Amino acid sequence: MWLNKIAAIKQRKTIIIVFSLVTIILGISCFNSVSDDKTKRIDDKGIFANASESNKESKPLQTTMVPESFSALAEMASPAVVNIQTVRTAKTKNMSRQFHGGPFSDDDQMNDFFNKFFNQDQQREFKQRSLGSGFIIDKEGYIVTNNHVVQDSDKIKVILKNEKEYNAEIIGRDPNTDLALIKIKDENSLPVLNLGDSDALKVGQWVVAIGSPFGLEHTVTAGIVSAKGRVIGSGPYDDYIQTDASINPGNSGGPLLNMNGEVIGINTIIIAGGQGIGFAIPINLARGIVDQLKKHGDVTRGWLGITIQNLPADLSEYFRIEGGKGVLVSDVIPGDPADKAGIRPKDIITKINGQKIDSSRTLLKIVAEMGVGKNVKINILRDGKEKIFNVEIAKRTDGKIASKTDSLKGEPDEIGIRVANLTPEIARRYDISEKEGVIVIAIDPDGKAAEAGIVPGDIIKEINHQSVKTVREYTEVLNKVKNKPLDIFLWRDKGGYVLVKIPN
């Protein structure tokens, strides 16, 4: 009897244990099912995606995964990347050595002897060595690098990854964009890099830099495109790719590559003390320059003969146009193409050959790349009306604009300035290209005009949209708008047109 009870109890325990095990197994399976489902959703929608089904119509976030390795790209590209070593002659002044009053003070021959060997015209020459990088662009041995790597070099040595050395010659240089083309000779076929499309780059894409930082040949670093179209004040054609791929002294002239191993930039500039901030010249900008250097040894750029400036919000409002549409002509050089065509200061250029102009940099780049002698169609706004001019592109030449260093004296008027007619004598004295308006010749430092930012040398062109060409007109207009807010439209040396507001 009691044996039967024991058997029944054991049977019940067995059932309970089996049921518990089944429950645990089912629980684990359900947990794994839920976990697998969440993981899948994270993989599909990106790490910031919500795993809930509340927003079923949202599109998956397309993410670019970190490459498992850059080794294949580095192995493919490195043979065409070169180390550049240059030697240039530099001069330094010696400390002057005098032997007067010494034991040979009366011996001209001994003095001549010592002066010859110790003074040597107060200068000494020494050899300065520097390092850089570059990359081969065709099997003929043409190599792209930076101008500052090879400028003023007496000797250029190029070393390939296989440690083969060559003497190189300079084919051409362009200091304006800091680009240079050099060449080596080899009877055998040389490795080359293909050029990519820098316009297709997107911020956040992976890039690889190869070069010789601090002389460490063929160093490979990786990063992303941090920004495009950077203007850093290095020259008139600033248009840099910013990257956080490690770039150091010696990387200059080396390639910045996309993940296909194509050159999309030339590493050029780093910010001192700024870790992870490097700049590369876009290959699409360099391509045309390199072609000109290869064909002609120098670069010819187009020129209209105008000074232009962007349209900030206040000037856009003053001219009653939408902001960002066009650039303002602040000066026209007499006898140059724009002047011959009829373009004037205060014209607003909106298009060139049908292409919209949204900034001074855009116009400068378009014109620079146009062939000399080519006729272009320029759309402008003048007094709110559109006009079209045909202009023949000339060759750009670099010039220097002098700056004002002093001002005339005079008693300030009711807004705190004194003006004079812009005579030819005053224009020559201040090196002013403007022909119309009145010039500010004195200013009260505590007056309204000074507080608004007007300075001596400014040329007032309009007040509240009324033209001012003489002191009489200036006085008449000022009397008409007494006790009213003033919009003073003026021209400023090296600043172009400026709108100054003086409140009531």
- Model confidence pLDDT, tens digit, residues 158-200: 999 999 999 999 999 999 899 999 999 998 889 999 999 999 9
| Residue of 178, 239, 331, 458 with catalytic role | 178
Q: Which of 277, 299, 321 is the last residue of a domain?
A: 299
Q: Which of 233, 264, 299 is the last residue of a domain?
A: 299
Higher pLDDT, 18 or 497: 497
Higher pLDDT, 412 or 110: 412
Q: Which of 40-44, 358-362, 480-484 has the lowest mean pLDDT?
A: 40-44
My answer on whether 189 and 173 are in the same domain is yes
- Do the domain assignments include residue 9? no
pTM score, whole prediction: 0.62
Q: Is 148 labeled as catalytic in the residue annotation?
A: yes
* Alpha-carbon gap, residue 178 to 281, rounded angstroms: 9
Q: Is 252 labeled as catalytic in the residue annotation?
A: yes
Q: Which domain holds residue 369?
A: 303-395
Place of tokens 């049908």: 354
- Do the domain assignments include residue 169? yes
Q: Is 398 labeled as catalytic in the residue annotation?
A: no
- Do the domain assignments include residue 285? yes
pLDDT, mean of residues 280-307:
92
My answer on whether 444 and 360 are in the same domain is no
My answer on whether 384 and 425 are in the same domain is no
402, pLDDT greater than 50: no
* Alpha-carbon gap, residue 51 to 120, rounded angstroms: 81
The answer to whether 210 and 81 have CB atoms below 8 angstroms apart is yes
* Alpha-carbon gap, residue 81 to 220, rounded angstroms: 11
Q: What is the CATH number of the domain that holds 122?
A: 2.40.10.120
My answer on whether 321 and 262 are in the same domain is no
- Alpha carbon 501 to its chain centroid, in Å, reads 32
351, pLDDT greater than 60: yes
Higher pLDDT, 104 or 67: 67
283, pLDDT greater than 70: yes
* Alpha-carbon gap, residue 472 to 462, rounded angstroms: 13
Output b/e per residue, 56-65; b: 16+ Cβ within 10 A: eeeeeeeeee
The reported pLDDT for the residue numbered 398 is 55
Q: Which residues fall within 8 angstroms of residue 147, CB to CB, at 6 or more apart?
A: 173, 174, 175, 177, 178, 179, 180
* Alpha-carbon gap, residue 151 to 127, rounded angstroms: 14
| Residue of 78, 133, 153, 252 with catalytic role | 252
**Across the chain, what does the average pLDDT equal?**
79
Question: Could you give the 3-state DSSP secondary structure of residue 493?
Answer: coil
* Alpha-carbon gap, residue 152 to 416, rounded angstroms: 53
| Residue of 78, 133, 148, 316 with catalytic role | 148
My answer on whether 185 and 107 are in the same domain is yes
Q: Which of 395, 427, 450 is the last residue of a domain?
A: 395
Question: How many distinct structural domains can be found in the chain?
Answer: 3
pLDDT, mean of residues 469-484:
86
The reported pLDDT for the residue numbered 320 is 80
My answer on whether 138 and 175 are in the same domain is yes
The answer to whether 253 and 211 have CB atoms below 8 angstroms apart is yes
Higher pLDDT, 138 or 308: 138
Q: Which of 46, 61, 70, 68 lies closest to 245, judged by CA?
A: 70
My answer on whether 475 and 353 are in the same domain is no
- Model confidence pLDDT, tens digit, residues 120-151: 555 667 778 889 999 999 999 999 999 999 99
My answer on whether 268 and 369 are in the same domain is no
Q: What is the CATH number of the domain that holds 388?
A: 2.30.42.10
